[in-house]
Amino acid sequence: MRTLLPSSPHNPMLRYSQTPATVTASRRRFIHCGKRSDSSAVGSSRSDWQSSWAILSSKVVSQEQSDSLLSSVNGHSNGSAETSSLNLVPFDNNSLAPNQQSKKTTPLSITDLSPAPMHGSNLRVAYQGVPGAYSEAAAGKAYPNCQAIPCDQFEVAFQAVELWIADRAVLPVENSLGGSIHRNYDLLLRHRLHIVGEVQLPVHHCLLALPGVRKEFLTRVISHPQGLAQCEHTLTKLGLNVAREAVDDTAGAAEFIAANNVRDTAAIASARAAEIYGLEILADGIQDDASNVTRFVMLAREPIIPRTDRPFKTSIVFAHEKGTCVLFKVLSAFAFRNISLTKIESRPNHNVPIRLVDEANVGTAKHFEYMFYVDFEASMAEARAQNALSEVQEFTSFLRVLGSYPMDMTSWSPSPPSSSSSTLSL
């Protein structure tokens, strides 16, 4: 569906947008705690910028959906007949105490339900996994002193923020060895949360087992699929030609071994997971490369206001009705303005997964349809970024800004090469 958006001489950013069909999230949750000229700035005032940001980031709701929402509240029609059947009790102001009558009452707003805390202080941050997971460490790095809320699935972390159970979510999107976490890219499009920051966490894997277990006793190794992929070659060098099974998360693998007293299985997880679940470290630093880093994104219900006083990154997703032929034109919009791209990822378009080449729908050749995720180094407060997206909009049928947020510029040290990576504790 294509929806016309208001235009303004100060805001030529987007003239229309097309939003793919959203998928209703599962309620189950498991939570333990035109012109290539950039001479003039677009959106020169704060109000212009906020309007532009709202157009790019907010959910476009069809008129039919709006009508249906307005027509009923909690299952009751707004009609007078239905309203009279609710048997409402009239409010008598005289029944209040004198001191209460003098106070002016105001309706509750959504902010009254969950006031925004200071950065990191008492912030409820959802992550996927159990205590000891790398996602928990990333949440602590992103928001020090936060209250970390473990979730059993990635989508539950999204729902925790949407349902005001958590204030933020910290989820992995890519790893320097294992690549992208495709599930979270799909969930970013399905849900309406905004990326408000990123954090890069060095990952130091250990091989864990119950105390007293030797490598000769091992018949399998379990971990998250990313953990297995990041240690594949090292496991082979260690002589562990055993079955490798994927589980939901690294710390969950350690918890499973400890809870079930499994003595023929080892887990790939962090040293903290070994401490929490009483396991022994058989091998330390078993990742295939010392420079093993996972990038996490921080998600919130509302976007942040981009700035230009520090490096920013912006994430977008777009698609086109005629396939990938416009990809070069989209990339040229950034190249023309010297905007560096740090990431480009393609994912199947679940709404239109296959397109027939023949317009009469009788051809046999077919094209796969894709959504494209792009990260670029620029703030949406910059005119060049706004103008680039204005040009991208000309070539695409769907465009959405997932977030414009500060880049993680903190320094990190890779895991030092160690003989323990190739030596087992016997």
Q: Are strands 354-356 and 280-284 parallel, antiparallel or unpaired?
A: unpaired
**Can you give the pTM of this predicted structure?**
0.68
Q: Measured between alpha carbons, how far is 51 from 25 in angstroms, rounded to an integer? A: 28
Average pLDDT, stretch 32-59?
Answer: 45
Could you tell me if 358 and 284 are in contact, meaning their C-beta atoms sit under 8 angstroms apart? Answer: no
Tell me, yes or no, whether 241 and 191 share the same domain: no
Tell me, yes or no, whether 193 and 212 share the same domain: no
What is the model's pLDDT at position 101? 47
Q: At residue 3, does pLDDT exceed 80? A: no
CATH of the domain at 192: 3.40.190.10
User: Of 417 and 224, which is predicted with more confidence?
Assistant: 224
Q: Measured between alpha carbons, how far is 239 from 341 in angstroms, rounded to an integer? A: 40
Q: Measured between alpha carbons, how far is 78 from 271 in angstroms, rounded to an integer? A: 58
Least confident of 89-93, 265-269, 419-423: 419-423
User: Residue 230 in 3-state DSSP?
Assistant: helix
Residue among 212, 215, 203 nearest 269 (CA): 203
Q: Which residue has the tokens 């949750």?
A: 29
Average pLDDT, stretch 103-111?
Answer: 46
Got the DSSP string for 3-71?
EE---BTTB-S-SEEE-PPP-PPP----B-------SS-SS-SHHHHHHHHHHHHSPP--HHHHHHHHH
Q: Tell me if 35 is assigned to some domain.
A: no
Strands (E), 146-231: 147-151, 168-175, 179-180, 194-202, 206-209, 220-223
- Assess whether 294 carries a catalytic annotation: yes
Tell me, yes or no, whether 313 and 281 share the same domain: no
Containing structural domain, residue 217: 205-286
Given 160, 180, 201, the domain boundary residue is 201
Q: How many domains does the chain have?
A: 3
User: Residue 102 in 3-state DSSP?
Assistant: coil
Q: Tell me if 320 is assigned to some domain.
A: yes
Point out the catalytic residue in the list 294, 318, 396, 398.
294
pLDDT digits (tens, 9 = 90+) for 51-85: 454 544 444 333 444 444 333 333 334 444 443 44
Band of pLDDT at residue 349, cut at 50, 70 and 90: confident
Band of pLDDT at residue 48, cut at 50, 70 and 90: low
What is the model's pLDDT at position 364? 53
- Angle, CA 372 vertex, CA 367 and CA 374 arms, to 5°: 155
Point out the catalytic residue in the list 296, 318, 376, 395.
296
Q: Tell me if 41 is assigned to some domain.
A: no
Q: Tokens at residue 145, please?
A: 């002193």
- Assess whether 395 carries a catalytic annotation: no
